[in-house]
Chain A
């Protein structure tokens, strides 16, 4: 029971961390390409994927996008961020499952960043009914490299701290 409480608190902390990071990101200057984001909240997703099972990760992503959207955004921003968030979660989960031993966390978060951007652009294409928006794709791939690197490196440092303190519920 004691362990369960610790896990519950840990999950809540990750949701809160992601929300705060999303909020901080709105104060930073935006990347002037539609669909591209620094994706600081992705740090929480990467941490979750490394320490929790998939169901908890899914819960964290859905909870943080809904809460952030309700607090700081609107219906449209919820649709964009939930698609981006879920797609990037799925991509990172699959990459970790398949190549977890050969690729580091940096690669995982770069792939996550690409799929986050892809999801957002996909929704934009659907909402604006304009497939020529896909011309932005190469820029989104390029932007994903530095943002993914940043998120991956931060997550790596946080993770070494977390594992020292036995925050690991992978099994």
Chain B
């Protein structure tokens, strides 16, 4: 490791932090939230989302299966038949802009607001 390496790592960290800050500011909103489920680029379902929403949605598309659960102010994919299971292990989404993605099944679950 040379000094220049540390400078490079430092600048990457700063870029990442700025990005996180921007996404945090973007996530602050007073508007009503909704959960949008997109499959293969098309909207599959939209659900109004707040602390009291309690729903379990089964997303089926071309033999692919994802189960989206909304409860206690969080959204998770609780079950999926994709090979990597990354979507199931993604941390719960609760703020605007946050999303859970299942690449193999082409499913995106995102929290957004009505605008």
Contact = CB atoms under 8 A, between A and B. Distances in A.
Q: From DSSP, what is the main secondary structure of chain A's interface residues?
A: helix
Contacts of B2: 102-104
Contacts of A99: 4
Contacts of A29: 89
A107 B7 CA distance: 10
A158 interface: no
Interface in B96-115: 97-99, 101, 103-104, 106, 108, 110
Contacts, number: 89
Interface of B: 1-2, 4-5, 8-9, 12-13, 15-20, 23, 26, 38, 40-41, 84-87, 89-91, 97-99, 101, 103-104, 106, 108, 110
Given A34-B87, A107-B8, A133-B99, 8 more contacts: A29-B89, A33-B86, A128-B40, A128-B41, A128-B106, A133-B101, A137-B19, A141-B19
30 contacts: A29-B89, A30-B84, A32-B86, A32-B89, A34-B101, A34-B103, A76-B104, A80-B103, A103-B2, A103-B4, A103-B5, A104-B1, A104-B2, A104-B5, A107-B5, A110-B8, A110-B9, A111-B8, A128-B101, A128-B103, A129-B41, A130-B41, A133-B99, A133-B101, A135-B23, A137-B19, A138-B17, A139-B16, A141-B16, A144-B12
